[in-house]
């Protein structure tokens, strides 16, 4: 177990290093700098800004300074949001994205698996066809379309909910729907297809031949085997959703991570771009790490660690 | 026919499958009896309806597309085909056990072997977890697995093929069923392991007095294990008899063909095996006459027009072939 954790940690740190390096040089490769858009700035001020942020130094030196700061977990100050450190911005905006994201994930998993299961149990019946029609729609309709439509009808026209913001629980409803329709559709399709495969497996027939009831077979024998692909999808999806959706956050006026990310890119706010990119990557890797552990817990054939001896026997 | 020691009595069983190309006749009017403690082999090639017959007895035919169109199955005096699904659950695993062809895929990969055995015991024998555990370990020992205590908490992937099939047998026999159906239990195993598994089944059958239906296409296994043989072709029984009658005095041309295509140890190396030419008929549209007549060297005009009835050769031996019909023999 310790070896597994160690190996994973080394892996994550290495990947983050590669990512930091790549982002750093990619950003520098784009012509211009964060202060280009400032109009009417005297040349002296501009030169001072460049000097202050160290952009006059050679590239390799900037890189080393940056790495050194990273090692000390210092993401630096934002270059465009005055007097705010990147860590503060991330911490503040992430709380919104995280809250909304967690709600959306729980909803997606529960509804997605339920719909998929029902579709699999009523394979080729009307319910199955309806469920898969909605799943296809859910995958095909982009969330900026869905988001604006539900905002228009339920907030603007019928006034069931507030148009924007994230102040009380009811404000979660619309953005959650906009965020979770795609994952629900995906999870439902995935659950359906793996469950159909599992339900026709030989060991399900064995369970039937043992006289086990069909509901028990479904829960005890089929679900555990059928959920593996779903788990592997849910991991990265979780990272994706909790780090904020650019589109959904803009539509519903939520000051989440996604909003700041787009802002940082259009402002060419180097430190913020780097900070959010690394943060996103770290979350993604952590989610994958949790997925690996979940995998090993669900399927005994997958081992986190190598057990000494034992294992396969002949005879 | 309905002696007290008759465990299973199948009469005029008809099973069909609905497919895109029409209704496929899987089993056509199959009739046979099984006595207590008897080992019966059902022999035939793929698609002859032998597995479908077995699965109908346990009511495991997936429906749709499968459906039983007629006939009766009497098991321990109860009509299996009239049972509700709930009543069947109480019979499956308890009074009938089944062993499947591929032990690699027939065990649940995410459940320990022990749990897969105790599951039946808890369901049918009202045992608590502790009792079930003891009984399961006893079963694992009975089927010849070394260090059953350890094996109990292992997963199927930690077992070899032969060991998995032993575990399957332990599951099937855990509740001491009256009937054990073994659907090609050794087909997926190495030859040496095959012998061990057969030896085990034979031994357990003698010890526990279980009746066995062995489904196979391997006549060698039949000679080893069974008292009586049913030969199936295209969903019908074409010949039935005791082991000796079938092997020493086969009557139906198909049975003869099967035996001729079997390699023998005493045959010269350069002597070719004689296969049965042709392929079985399309069962979506089965021939009105004898289903085998296209491949039969002795086919006559009547064979293509009407199928023969079962013709008795002795009290235990019968075959479905016009060659043995009294009117033909008299000519």
Tell me which residue in B86, B160, B171 faces A314 most closely, judged by beta carbons: B160
Rounded Cα distance between B273 and B254, Å, is 15
B65 preceded by a cis bond (ω within 30 of 0): yes
**Residue B228 banded pLDDT, cuts 50, 70, 90:** very high
In the prediction, which pLDDT does B4 show? 65
Higher pLDDT, A17 or A164: A17
Contact check, Cβ <8 Å, B163/A313: yes
Mean pLDDT, residues B302-316 taken together: 85
Going by C-beta distance under 8 Å and a sequence separation of 6 or more, which residues neighbour residue B247? B219, B223, B259
In the prediction, which pLDDT does B329 show? 57
Q: Which residues pair with B319 in a beta bridge?
A: B239, B311
Could you tell me if B234 and B61 are in contact, meaning their C-beta atoms sit under 8 angstroms apart?
A: no
Q: What is the DSSP string of A129-166?
A: HHHHHHHHHHHHS-HHHHHHHHIIIIIIIS-SS-SS--
**Residue position matching structure tokens 């650019």:** A246
Q: Which residue of B has its CA nearest to A213?
A: B89
B268 CA to chain A: closest CA distance, Å?
34
A169-183, A237-251, B139-153: lowest mean pLDDT where?
A: A237-251
- Asked if the model's pLDDT at residue B6 lies above 80, the reply is yes
In the prediction, which pLDDT does B3 show? 53
**Residue B1 banded pLDDT, cuts 50, 70, 90:** very low
- Asked if the model's pLDDT at residue B315 lies above 60, the reply is yes
- Asked if the model's pLDDT at residue A43 lies above 90, the reply is no
Q: What share of chain B has pLDDT > 90, as a percent?
A: 28
Residue to substitute from A196, A309, A315, interface B, most B β-carbons within 10 A: A315
Rounded Cα distance between A298 and A231, Å, is 10
Residue A44 contacts B where some CB pair is shorter than 8 Å: no
Reading phi first (left if > 0) and then psi (alpha if -120 to 50, else beta), residue A311 is in left
Rounded to two decimals, the ipTM of the complex is: 0.85
In the prediction, which pLDDT does A39 show? 66
Interface of A with B in 211-230 (CB under 8 A): 211-214, 220-221, 224-225
Between chain A and chain B, how many beta carbons pairs sit less than 8 Å apart? Answer: 88
Contact check, Cβ <8 Å, B105/A300: no
- Asked if the model's pLDDT at residue B272 lies above 90, the reply is no
Q: What share of chain A has pLDDT > 90, as a percent?
A: 27
Residue to substitute from B64, B99, B106, B125, interface A, most A β-carbons within 10 A: B106
Quick one: which H or E segment has residue B305? helix B301-305
Contact check, Cβ <8 Å, B110/A225: yes
The per-residue pLDDT for range A133-175, each reduced to its tens digit, is 999 999 999 888 998 999 999 888 888 888 777 778 888 899 9
B108-135: b (≥16 Cβ within 10 Å) or e: bbbbbbbbbbbbbbebbeebeeeebbeb
Q: What share of chain B has pLDDT > 70, as a percent?
A: 97
The per-residue pLDDT for range A193-220, each reduced to its tens digit, is 999 999 989 999 999 999 898 888 988 8
**Residue position matching structure tokens 């043989």:** B229
- Tokens standing for residue B248: 């020493």
**Residue A132 banded pLDDT, cuts 50, 70, 90:** very high
B35-44, B162-171, B231-240, B299-308: lowest mean pLDDT where?
A: B299-308
**Closest CA relative to residue B182, chosen from B139, B221, B138:** B221
Rounded Cα distance between A132 and A186, Å, is 10
- Asked if the model's pLDDT at residue A312 lies above 60, the reply is no
What average pLDDT does chain B have?
87
B64 preceded by a cis bond (ω within 30 of 0): yes
In the prediction, which pLDDT does A38 show? 63
Contact check, Cβ <8 Å, A312/B160: yes
A129-138, B290-299, B321-330: lowest mean pLDDT where?
A: B321-330
**Residue B331 banded pLDDT, cuts 50, 70, 90:** very low
Quick one: which H or E segment has residue B285? none
Strand order in the sheet with B311-312: B96-99, B179-183, B211-216, B39-43, B228-233, B236-242, B318-319, B311-312
- Chain B CB contacts of A300 under 8 Å are 109-110, 155, 157
Other beta carbons within 10 Å of A67: 14
- Asked if the model's pLDDT at residue A305 lies above 80, the reply is no
- Chain A CB contacts of B159 under 8 Å are 313
- Tokens standing for residue A82: 């005055």
Contact check, Cβ <8 Å, B168/A207: no
Going by C-beta distance under 8 Å and a sequence separation of 6 or more, which residues neighbour residue B143? B166, B167, B169, B170, B173, B200, B204
Contact check, Cβ <8 Å, A312/B109: no
Contact check, Cβ <8 Å, B110/A300: yes
The per-residue pLDDT for range B238-271, each reduced to its tens digit, is 999 999 998 888 888 888 888 888 777 777 777 7
In order of start, what are the domains of chain A with their CATH numbers? Answer: 89-269 (1.10.3720.10)
Going by C-beta distance under 8 Å and a sequence separation of 6 or more, which residues neighbour residue B111? A220, A221, A224, B155
In order of start, what are the domains of chain B with their CATH numbers? Answer: 6-95+175-278+285-330 (3.40.50.300)
What average pLDDT does chain A have?
85
In the prediction, which pLDDT does A184 show? 95
**Residue A37 banded pLDDT, cuts 50, 70, 90:** low
Rounded Cα distance between B220 and A123, Å, is 42
Instruction: Please give the model's pTM, rounded to 2 decimal places.
Output: 0.77
A219-223, A288-292, B5-9, B62-66: lowest mean pLDDT where?
A: B62-66
Q: Which residue of A has its CA nearest to B163?
A: A315
């Amino acid at each position: 177990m310790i070896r597994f954790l160690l190996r994973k940690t080394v892996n994550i740190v290495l990947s983050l290093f590669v990512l930091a390096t790549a982002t750093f040089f990619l950003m520098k490769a784009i012509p211009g700098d964060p202060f280009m858009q400032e109009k009417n700035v005297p040349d002296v001020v501009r030169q001072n800004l460049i000097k202050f942020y160290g952009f006059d130094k050679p590239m390799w030196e900037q890189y080393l300074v940056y790495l050194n700061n990273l090692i000390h977990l210092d993401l630096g100050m934002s270059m465009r949001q005055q007097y705010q450190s990147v860590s503060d911005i991330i911490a503040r905006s992430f709380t919104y994205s995280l809250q909304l994201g967690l709600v959306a994930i729980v909803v997606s998993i529960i509804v997605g698996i339920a719909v998929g299961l029902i579709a699999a149990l009523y394979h080729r019946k009307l319910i199955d066809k309806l469920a898969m029609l909605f799943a296809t729609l859910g995958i095909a309709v982009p969330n900026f379309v869905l988001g604006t439509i539900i905002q228009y009808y339920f907030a603007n026209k019928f006034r069931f909910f507030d148009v924007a913001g994230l102040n009380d629980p009811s404000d979660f409803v619309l953005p959650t729907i906009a965020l979770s329709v795609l994952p629900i559709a995906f999870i439902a399709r995935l659950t359906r297809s793996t469950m159909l495969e599992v339900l026709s497996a030989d060991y399900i027939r064995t369970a039937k031949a043992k006289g086990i009831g069909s509901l028990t077979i479904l829960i005890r024998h089929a679900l555990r085997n059928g959920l593996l692909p779903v788990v592997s999808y849910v991991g990265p999806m979780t990272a994706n959703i909790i780090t904020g959706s650019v589109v959904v956050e803009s539509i519903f006026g939520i000051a989440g991570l996604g909003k700041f990310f787009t802002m940082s890119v259009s402002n060419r706010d180097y430190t913020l771009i780097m900070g959010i990119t690394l943060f996103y990557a770290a979350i993604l890797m952590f989610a994958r790490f949790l997925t690996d552990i979940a995998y090993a817990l669900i399927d005994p054939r997958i081992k986190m660690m190598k057990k000494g001896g034992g294992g396969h026997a002949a005879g | 026919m309905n002696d007290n020691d008759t465990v299973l009595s199948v009469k005029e069983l008809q099973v069909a499958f609905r497919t895109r190309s029409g209704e496929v006749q899987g089993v056509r009017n199959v009739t046979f009896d099984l006595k207590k403690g008897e080992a019966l082999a059902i022999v035939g090639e793929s698609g002859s309806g032998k597995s479908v017959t077995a699965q109908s007895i346990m009511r495991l035919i997936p429906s749709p597309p499968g459906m039983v169109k007629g006939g009766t199955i009497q098991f321990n005096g109860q009509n299996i085909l009239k049972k509700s699904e709930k009543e069947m659950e109480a019979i499956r695993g308890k009074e009938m056990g089944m062993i499947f062809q591929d032990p690699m895929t027939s065990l649940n990969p995410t459940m320990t072997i022990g749990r897969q055995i105790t599951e039946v015991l808890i369901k049918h024998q009202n045992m608590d977890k502790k009792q079930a555990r003891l009984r399961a370990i006893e079963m694992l020992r009975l089927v010849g697995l070394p260090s059953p205590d350890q094996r109990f908490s292992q997963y199927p992937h930690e077992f070899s093929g032969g060991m998995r099939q032993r575990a399957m047998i332990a599951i099937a026999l855990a509740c001491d069923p009256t009937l054990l159906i073994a659907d090609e239990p050794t087909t997926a195993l190495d030859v040496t392991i095959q012998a061990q598994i057969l030896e085990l089944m034979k031994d357990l059958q003698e010890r526990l007095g279980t009746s066995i239906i062995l489904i196979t296409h391997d006549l060698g296994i039949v000679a080893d294990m069974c008292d009586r043989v049913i030969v199936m072709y295209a969903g019908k029984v074409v010949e039935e008899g005791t082991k000796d009658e079938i092997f020493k005095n086969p009557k139906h041309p198909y049975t003869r063909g099967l035996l001729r295509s079997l390699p023998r140890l005493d045959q010269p190396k350069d002597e070719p095996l004689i296969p049965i030419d042709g392929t079985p008929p399309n069962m979506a549209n089965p021939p009105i006459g004898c289903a085998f007549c296209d491949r039969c060297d002795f086919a006559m005009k009547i064979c293509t027009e009407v199928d023969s009835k079962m013709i008795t050769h002795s009290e235990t031996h019968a075959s479905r072939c016009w060659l043995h019909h009294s009117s033909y023999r008299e000519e």
